[in-house]
Amino acid sequence: MDFASLLVLAVLGLGVWFWLHSIRILEIARNAGKQACIKMDVQFLDDTVAGTKLALARDSNGRRVLRRSYRFEFSETGNSRRVGEVVMLGERVERVAMEPYEILE
């Protein structure tokens, strides 16, 4: 095998690793959004999150990691759709934010 073939295989391997790792982070973000909705007693709509931002950031140890933002929708009544956001710093949930909504008694 020549150097070019090894380089192509390495790039493909890195791409597959990144894709699989991104799917794992997406599942963690989905679970964080779902748990936030359960805690606030609202409906987590569509059972999914969608990626909105991707950027480099530093974690608490000063290492460069990816900061990913995901959007999800929830409803307090079932008639409206509100927006929430999960921000992941590496593999850790950095924050979950939800659009203000009316609390029903």
Identify whether 105 is part of a domain: no
Identify whether 88 is part of a domain: yes
14: helix, coil or strand?
helix
Identify whether 63 is part of a domain: yes
Identify whether 8 is part of a domain: yes
What domain range is 69 assigned to? 3-98
Identify whether 39 is part of a domain: yes
Q: In residues, how long is the chain?
A: 105
- Give the Cα separation of 65 and 67 in Å (integer): 7
Tokens of 78: 């079932």
Side chain identity at 67, as an amino acid letter?
Answer: R
Q: Which residues contact 52 (CB under 8 A, 6 or more apart)?
A: 69, 70, 71, 85
Identify whether 103 is part of a domain: no
For the chain, the average pLDDT equals 94
Full pLDDT tens readout for the chain, 105 residues: 799 999 999 999 999 999 999 999 999 999 999 999 999 999 999 999 999 999 999 999 999 999 999 999 999 988 889 999 999 999 999 999 999 987 766
- Give the Cα separation of 102 and 78 in Å (integer): 12
Domain count, the chain: 1
Identify whether 104 is part of a domain: no
For position 2, what pLDDT does the model report? Answer: 92
